[in-house]
A and B are shown apart, each in its own frame.
Chain A
C-alpha cells in the first residue's frame, strides 16, 4: 500500500450525515476488478443522473472541486457495508484524506489498509474546515501525518489525534500480510495448542 506522510490539496465538502458505502460506490459496480479502477464510480448516483449526465448540484461537478483530494465529510461517514471498493473509489478519484466527525468502523479499517488517511475531527477542527469550505471554493489545506497537523491557508495550524498504530501503518505503508507471515511459527504454535485445548473447534 501507498505510504502517507504529508499531503497538500483542495478541500471538498460533503457534509451530509450517514454517507454510507452504497452512496460512495453503488453495489452494482462491485464486480469490477481492482485493476479496472473505481474513480468514475465514486459517488456515482450522487454525481450522475439516470441518463449519465452530471448533476450540477453535486460538489464534485462544481468548478474548483474537480481536483479535490481532501474530503470533509459529515458524521458516520462510510457507514454500512464492508465493501473496500468505497476506499478504492476515493483513492482512485484522487482523494488522499477524509476528515469527518466519525466514521463507520469497517470503512475506517479498510482506509488504513489502503493508505487513505481518515482523520476523526473534533468539533473545533470540523467547524474550522466546514467554514473554510464555505468561505472559499477550492481552498487548500496541508495535512502532516508526521506532525499530526492540519494547516489552513499556510498559517492556521490545528493538531489532530490519531491512534499510534494507524499512524505507524500509514507512515510505513507496509503490507500487514508480509509482516504477519514472519510470525508464522508463533501462529502455528498457538494454533496447535488452541485445537488441542478445543478439539471441537477444529476443522469439520
Chain B
C-alpha cells in the first residue's frame, strides 16, 4: 500500500502527467492532447488571426458543425446567415489545416457526441473545447473541460492552457437504479441534491456500483451535466466498459499502440487511500424519474411530486428565485407535475442524442401517436445512420415525431429550431434557463423516454405507467 502522501486521484494522475511548468502563483501550464472546435467558436479564430498567430497543432484539433447546423426544419430569414457561419468553420479548417466535418458528412454532429464515437476522446488525455458541456468526455476517463474564447485562442496558438488545480469531489452512487430510471434522472438528482453551485471550484469523479454499471453513453449523460452542478470537470474511472467501447473506433489507437494504451489506461484510477476535498454519497435505489419545474437545473422534483411552494423555503434568496421561476414558468405551487400539459417535445442535445437515448425514446413511441409537435434530432450522422438501420426513424415518424438532421438544435436554439414564446417544452437537453430554447420558452428537462411519453400523452408523464404497453 502506498503511503498516504503519494495517493492520487484519477484527476491528479492525468493532471500531473500534463503539467509543463507551474508558476509561483500556483497556476500550471497544461499540455492539451485534444482540442475540439465548432461553428460557434469563430471569435477565438478571429483573435489569433488578429494577433498574426497560427494554429500550432492542427493535427490535435478537430472541428464539426453543430451549434448553427440546420436540422432541416422550417427555413427562416436568418437561414443564410447561419449557413455562412457553418461555412466559415470549413474555410478556417482549410486555412489552418485541421480536419472539420460539415453538413452532410456522416462524421458531423454535436462535438460531444462525435469525440467519443470517433475515438478522438481517449482516457488519460487532456481535452478541451469552447463549450461548457465538455466535461462529457470525462465519461471515458479524459480530463476534459469547457473554456472561453480567450482560452480557445490560447490553445490554438500554443496547444497549452494555464489553469489552477481545482478541488476534488467524489460522488458515489451505490445500490442499483430502479426500472424506468435513467442516467438523466441520476444526474438531475445529483444536481438537485448538491445544487447548481454545489460543484463550483471542483472536479467531480462519479463512482459507485451504479456508475460502474452504466454504459459509456449513460456515463456521457452524467458527466455532461456536471457544469449544471457548477463543476467544469466530471469524470469516471475508465474500465473494461470504456475499453470495449473504444476498441476499433476510427481515431482510437490500434495494433501495438492499442496495447500500450490499455496498459497505461488500467492504472487510471483513484488510489484506494486518495483523499477528496468533498465526498457525497447517493443511494441509487432511491432515485425516481425526475423532471425540472423551474429555470435552474437544481429546481427538480420526482415525477410523483408536485410543484413546490416557495412559502416552505426558509432561505430568502432561494425563495425569491423560486417565485421568479414559478412566474416565468407560469406554474402554481402544489400542482402535481403529472398534470402539467406540454406543447412541444425535443429529443436531442449533447446530453441525450445517442443511439441508446433514441432506442429508449422509440420504445415508448412505438405504435403510439404524439399529441404535440415533437422533434428527434440525432447527435451525429453516425447516430442517425445507426438509428435508421434499426428502423427507429420509421417508428418515430409513424408516431408523428419529426426526424431531423444532426446538430445542437433546440437545446441552444440558434439554428432556427426554437420553442415559441409562452410554449412549454419537455426536453432532453441540459438547461432550463429562461429563454434558453427561445424567448419566453418554458423548458422541463427530462430523460428521453420521459420526453417521448410526454409527446404521447401531452403532459409530463411517469414513464412507468406507459412502458409495459405498446
Interface residues of A (CB under 8 A from B): 15-18, 20, 22-23, 26-28, 30-31, 33-34, 45, 50, 74-76, 79-85, 87, 102-106, 109-110, 113-114, 163-165, 168, 175-177, 180-181, 183-184, 186-187, 190-191, 194, 198-201, 203-204
Known: A27-B436, A187-B31. 7 other contacts (CB 8 A): A76-B197, A102-B197, A105-B230, A165-B25, A184-B158, A187-B20, A203-B60
Instruction: Please give, as numbers and ranges, the residues of chain A lying within 8 Å of B124 by CB-CB distance.
Output: 198, 201
Q: Is B85 part of the binding interface, using a Cβ–Cβ cutoff of 8 Å?
A: yes
A181 is contacted by which of B26, B33, B157, B320 (Cβ under 8 Å)? B157
B151 is contacted by which of A102, A113, A163, A198 (Cβ under 8 Å)? A113
A16 is contacted by which of B31, B158, B321 (Cβ under 8 Å)? B321
The majority secondary structure among interface residues of chain B is loop
A69 CB to nearest B CB, Å: 21
> Assuming A18-B296, A84-B43, is B261 touching A200 (CB within 8 A)?
yes
Instruction: Please give, as numbers and ranges, the residues of chain B lying within 8 Å of A79 by CB-CB distance.
Output: 196-197, 200, 230
Instruction: List B residues 41-97 near A (Cβ within 8 Å).
Output: 42-43, 46-48, 51, 53, 57, 59-60, 68, 81-82, 85
A87 CB to nearest B CB, Å: 8
Q: Is B378 part of the binding interface, using a Cβ–Cβ cutoff of 8 Å?
A: no
**Top 5 A-B residue pairs of the complex, sorted by shortest distance between their CB atoms:** A165-B25, A200-B261, A203-B59, A110-B148, A113-B150
Instruction: Please give, as numbers and ranges, the residues of chain A lying within 8 Å of B200 by CB-CB distance.
Output: 76, 79, 102-105
Interface centre among B23, B25, B81 (most CB of A within 10 A): B25
Interface centre among A80, A113, A186 (most CB of B within 10 A): A80
The distance in angstroms between the C-alpha atoms of A164 and B317, with both chains bound, is 31
> Assuming A164-B25, A168-B25, A200-B261, is B434 touching A22 (CB within 8 A)?
yes
Asked if A82 contacts B154 (CB within 8 A), the reply is no
Instruction: Please give, as numbers and ranges, the residues of chain A lying within 8 Å of B331 by CB-CB distance.
Output: none
Give 27 pairs: A residue, B residue, CB < 8 Å, sorted on A: A15-B317, A17-B321, A18-B197, A20-B433, A22-B433, A30-B414, A31-B81, A75-B197, A76-B196, A79-B197, A84-B148, A84-B149, A104-B200, A105-B166, A105-B231, A110-B150, A110-B151, A113-B150, A163-B164, A164-B25, A176-B162, A180-B158, A181-B53, A187-B160, A200-B122, A201-B122, A201-B125
Instruction: Please give, as numbers and ranges, the residues of chain B lying within 8 Å of A16 by CB-CB distance.
Output: 320-321, 324
Instruction: Please give, as numbers and ranges, the residues of chain B lying within 8 Å of A83 by CB-CB distance.
Output: 148
